[in-house]
Amino acid sequence: MYSTPYHTTDLSQSSFLITGGAGFIGSNIVEYLLKYGAGKVRVLDNFSTGSYVNIEEFKNNPAFELLEGDIRDLETCRRALEGIDYVSHQAALGSVPRSINDPINSNDVNVSGFLNMLVAARDATVKSFIYAASSSTYGDHPGLPKMEDKIGSPLSPYAVTKFVNELYAKVFSKTYDFHTIGLRYFNVFGPKQNPKGPYAAVIPLFIEAALDNKAPYINGDGETSRDFTFVENAVQANVRAMLTTSVNKHEVVNIAFGERTTLNQLWNRIADIAGISLSPEYREERKGDVRHSLADINKANALIGYKPAYSVLEGLSIAYNWYKENTVKVSL
């Protein structure tokens, strides 16, 4: 992975803060930046959902720094931003079901924590602040493909928190002249995504089932569709967004591949990669889930030059092989 650079500038004189950098997407961003010689890559993480395993390979790199702390503490956020040029804010409590079961904690981290980071980054006068937004913001809007200026009502507490992030970022842009970019992720998957726990995402669960030669569970009839997005595409978006110089207001862009895949199709593709033939077991649909999702990625292309490098099938092959080779890591 990351054999192709998504930047043209020298990173050795720049410093980066990745919040949630021990998590799935965050640790992949860290990997890219260190591979291409970033001067400093600082991770802020409280390890509530992130893992030391995800960043263990970086600990001896002199450009890598780890600050264990919580974004819900403003002074921690200020300390994390000392000497930082670029911010990729990935720290959050993900998962629609988690937010339904515990909306207060999701709000504390995703809204209060986000606001702390926004205030601290504004005061630190960083060069750019990029944050993880979400396709859940589209809510019950029926239109496909999803376009950034057309959203519906949120369907879960998690969706509310991510929409509030965008509202705060927009207000900060107008009020303080502090401009940010929100990346509306569409179902990101790939290496370092944890298949364990009650809120694991569907692709690592499917791959784990395939590796164990067991039938997976599918919520609903399997015809629910998603715009699954390989993690290197998300990393590309973060790198391009952090380094762009063309943004002079708050922006949100879709980060996806631009193709719909049903859960049934997804399982069949993974089963083909694994060389197995098993029918899934179906159960009730989850509360708060949207039925179909598909992104229009034209704005991301125009604004930051985003062009997904990996298809869903290519990403699934890479992810499957990673899980197969790292069964010990993902079981920790």
Nearest to 21 by CA among 79, 70, 89, 102: 89
Distance, CA of 241 to CA of 190 (rounded, Å): 20
Angle at 252 (CA atoms; ends 158, 171), nearest 5 degrees = 80
> Among 32, 86, 138, 158, which one carries the catalytic annotation?
158
Annotated catalytic residue 52: no
Distance, CA of 272 to CA of 320 (rounded, Å): 11
Secondary structure of 142-153 in HEC code, one letter for each residue: CCCCECCCCCCC
Nearest to 300 by CA among 216, 220, 239: 239
Distance, CA of 79 to CA of 65 (rounded, Å): 13
Nearest to 316 by CA among 282, 277, 274: 274
Catalytic residues: 158
